[in-house]
Amino acid sequence: MRALGLALLIGVMTAPALAERFSRPGAVRMGASTADLQRELASQCSSLATRKVDPPFLPNVKTEQLQIDCEGFKFRGLGRHVEFVIRDDRLVMVWLMVEPDEEAGTVRDMQKALGTPTGTNAKYVAFERDRTAWRHKPAEILFYAPELDADMEPDFR
DSSP summary character for residue 115:
-
At 84-120, the pLDDT tens digits run 999 999 999 999 999 999 999 999 999 999 999 999 9
Calculate mean pLDDT across residues 64-79: 97
Cα gap 37→44, rounded to integer Å? 11
CA distances for 16 relative to 5, 13, 54, 105, angstroms: 19, 8, 45, 10
Check whether 12 has a pLDDT greater than 60: no
If you average pLDDT over every residue of the chain, what do you get? 90
- The per-residue pLDDT for 11 is 42
Query: pTM for the whole thing?
Result: 0.86
Q: Does 62 or 16 have the greater pLDDT score?
A: 62
Read off φ and ψ for residue 2, nearest 5 degrees. Answer: -60, -40
